[in-house]
Copies of this chain bind each other. A is one copy, B any other.
Amino acid sequence: MHDKIKQLLTEIQAGNFKAVARGITIVENSLPGYEELLTLLSNDTTSKVIGLTGPPGAGKSTLVSALLKFWTQAGKKIAVLAVDPSSPFNYGALLGDRIRMSEFYNNPDVYIRSLASRGALGGLNHKIIEITDITRQAPFDIILIETVGVGQSEVEIAGLADCSIVALVPEAGDEVQTLKAGIMEIADVFVINKADREAADAMYASLRIMVHQKSTDETEIPVIKTIATQGVGIAELDAAIEHFFKEQHTDTEQKLHLYTEKCWQLLLAERMKDISKTDLKKRIADSINKKGFNLYNLARDIASATSNK
């Protein structure tokens, strides 16, 4: 097992897509060897992790396509982790969309992986940190994580990604005012996609005002207009991302928070692994109606009986 896992990691580090896929599958499903694989991972990697989030209908997957085209033409290697139940990169996609994207499925510089999302609203996959850490081992220039911007996923992605892009689409005039709380805090770059729509200019103007009001120093969050279907604005978007990486001040608070939560969950799983709720329920059921039953004694007994294992 040990040699096999080491071998797998070596292949991942060499950029073998099948090995990357295998590694992700092992970790996502907690298959034998997954813990060893994780403990072998190097922290010394250079992939840039970019999060792309936004509401359904913002054209995120078309943006991904346009970015993939731009980046591959620039000679870059990219991994896409799609955690968006409505994404055409994901299994539940419409056939038409999948065909449109299919060119990238055969591109040797692009690795695409659909991931199950946690819950119907598109929360991040519960192993997304591990999966990103695996993907980071391979020589990708960019790891792009696409998530649908609902629920908690934006905040999680902000901790995971080095740069978070928030994609919006012009619709009702007052939409900018109703941006979900917290989205301003996580966005490193705003994109207004479908910028040929009538409401785009008004949205751009009000988003710029908002960004300006929120900016604490001379650096403002850039707002980029794109028409992803035509590739319009993609070079500008890439430039904004590049600029962000160049100027990036080390703000690791979100990452620290995310890693602390993950570490806590790992510890908790480790320490509770000898107990299942089903067994616990059986044990309580067996004694709950007996004279002398005491829930707190039972918990204490189990804790002390198992603490020396």
Chain A contacts to B: CB under 8 angstroms: 35, 38-44, 129-130, 133, 252, 255-257, 259-260, 262-264, 266-268, 270-272, 275, 277, 280-281, 284-285, 288-300, 302-303, 307-309
Contacts and interface: CB of A to CB of B under 8 A. Distances in A.
A300 B38 CA distance: 11
Contacts of A260: 277, 280-281, 284
A41 B284 CA distance: 16
Nearest to A262: B295
Given A43-B292, A297-B39, A275 B267 contact: yes
Contacts of A284: 256, 259-260, 263
B266 A268 contact: no
A166 B268 CA distance: 37
A40 B297 CA distance: 8
Nearest to A285: B256
Given A263-B284, A270-B300, 8 more contacts: A256-B281, A256-B288, A259-B295, A260-B281, A263-B298, A267-B275, A267-B299, A308-B308
Nearest to A293: B43
Given A252-B288, A295-B262, A281 B257 contact: yes
A267 B302 contact: yes
Nearest to A302: B267
A291 B133 CA distance: 15
